[in-house]
């Protein structure tokens, strides 16, 4: 399924164009007051080329962290699915563990992760992963073979590993000194371009516009890559999506409702849409007493998404989540 391109994909570019327009306007003002600037030399071109090389090197280094961040939600969802499916199989044979409570605890892992990402300095999800052990203790006190329980413990350990990766990626920046160097380079190069005359007036303004857009866009893109996880209204299309985790939540919530795979995908898509578009009275209802920076209450969002999916005239069959 290909994602449709929207205007949101160009938000970073449009914001950069505004800054570029200001810089071009300032350069035009310098021309107007009689400041022509220095002549273009080979040294100027070398400085610009060096800036391009260094920025490309730093961004290439941060992309590896971004690719790892993209895999993390999949790893978390795979672990949650494995625990749920294994527990369901055990319950059919040994009537253990309490599936309703286990589903609540698994959904709480996703909800806590959203809150941790929004807050930036909390570890609620880590606690939610540890609480899963209470369901495993139910199994240890039953007739379930030990090797079955060991598999669940291994999946729990995998959840810890993926979760710690999220915390590490969100907290650490790629070479802060290198980022400071990049910012310094961009400022110096833009200053040099502002004070350089490239042949005539029009060519100077056009070149300034193109080069300043290039450097500023890369600088802003570096900021996005450094913090790949965001949720709720803070999230943009450039941030890593938790969509696969929302699918798991719908699966867990609608386990006995006979919801089809297509309906699960549709409800999960609406969860993301509702989180990003929540405003006004709807936002107040979904916040459930949380601060403005906190993501909406997950249960309320899932219920709203399921209801919106049922009411959609394009949906041929209803769903209950």
Q: Write out pLDDT tens, residues 145-166.
A: 999 999 999 999 999 999 999 9
Of 229, 252, 268, the residue that ends a domain is 229
Q: What's the distance, Cα to Cα, between the start and end of the chain in Å?
A: 23
Tell me, yes or no, if the pTM score tops 0.85. Answer: no
Q: What is the pLDDT of residue 104?
A: 94
Question: For residue 111, what pLDDT band results from cuts at 50, 70 and 90?
Answer: very high
Both 292 and 313 in one domain: the answer is yes
Tell which of 157, 172, 187 closes a domain. 172
Using CA atoms, how far residue 7 sits from 11, 62, 68, 288, in Å, is 7, 25, 26, 30
Answer left, alpha or beta for residue 175, where phi above 0 means left and psi between -120 and 50 means alpha: left
Whether residues 71 and 168 share a domain: the answer is yes
54 within some domain: no
Domain identity same for 216 and 253: no
Alpha carbon 228 to its chain centroid, in Å, reads: 5
Q: Check if the beta carbon of residue 298 is closer than 8 Å to that of residue 107.
A: yes
Mean pLDDT across 101-129? 93
- Total count of domains within the chain: 3
* Domain-located, residue 165: yes
Whether 271 is in a domain gets the answer: yes
As a residue count, the chain comes to 321
- Residues 213, 234: Cα–Cα separation, whole Å: 24
Range of the domain at 26: 10-39+176-229
For residues 91 and 159, state if they share a domain.
yes
Q: Name the more confident of 186 and 277.
A: 186
């Amino acid at each position: 399924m290909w994602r449709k391109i929207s205007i949101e994909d160009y938000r970073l570019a449009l914001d950069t164009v505004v800054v570029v327009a200001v810089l071009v306007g300032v350069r035009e003002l310098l021309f107007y007051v009689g400041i022509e600037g220095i002549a273009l030399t080979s040294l100027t071109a070398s400085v610009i080329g060096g800036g391009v090389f260094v920025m490309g090197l730093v961004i290439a280094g941060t992309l590896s962290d971004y690719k790892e961040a993209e895999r993390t939600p999949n790893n978390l969802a795979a672990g949650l699915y494995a625990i749920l499916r294994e527990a369901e199989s055990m319950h059919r044979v040994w009537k253990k563990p309490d599936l309703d409570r286990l589903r609540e605890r698994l959904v709480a892992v996703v909800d806590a992760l959203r809150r941790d990402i929004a807050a930036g300095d909390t570890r609620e999800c880590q606690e939610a992963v540890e609480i899963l052990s209470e369901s495993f203790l139910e199994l240890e006190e039953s007739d379930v073979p030990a090797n079955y329980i060991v598999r669940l413990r291994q999946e729990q350990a995998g959840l810890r590993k993926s979760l710690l990766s999220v915390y590490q990626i969100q907290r650490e920046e790629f070479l802060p000194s290198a980022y400071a160097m990049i910012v310094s380079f961009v400022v110096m190069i833009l200053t040099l371009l502002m004070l350089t005359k490239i042949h005539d007036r029009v060519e100077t303004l056009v070149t300034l516009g193109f080069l300043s857009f290039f450097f500023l866009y890369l600088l802003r893109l570096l900021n996005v890559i450094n913090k790949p996880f965001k949720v709720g209204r803070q999230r943009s299309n450039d941030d890593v999506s938790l969509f696969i985790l929302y699918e798991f939540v719908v699966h867990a919530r609608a386990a006995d409702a006979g919801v089809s795979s297509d309906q699960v995908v549709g409800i999960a898509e609406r969860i993301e849409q509702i989180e990003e578009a929540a405003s006004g009275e709807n936002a107040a209802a979904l916040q459930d007493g949380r601060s403005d920076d906190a993501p909406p209450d997950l249960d309320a969002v899932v219920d709203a998404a399921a209801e919106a999916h049922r009411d959609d005239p394009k949906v041929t069959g209803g769903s209950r989540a």
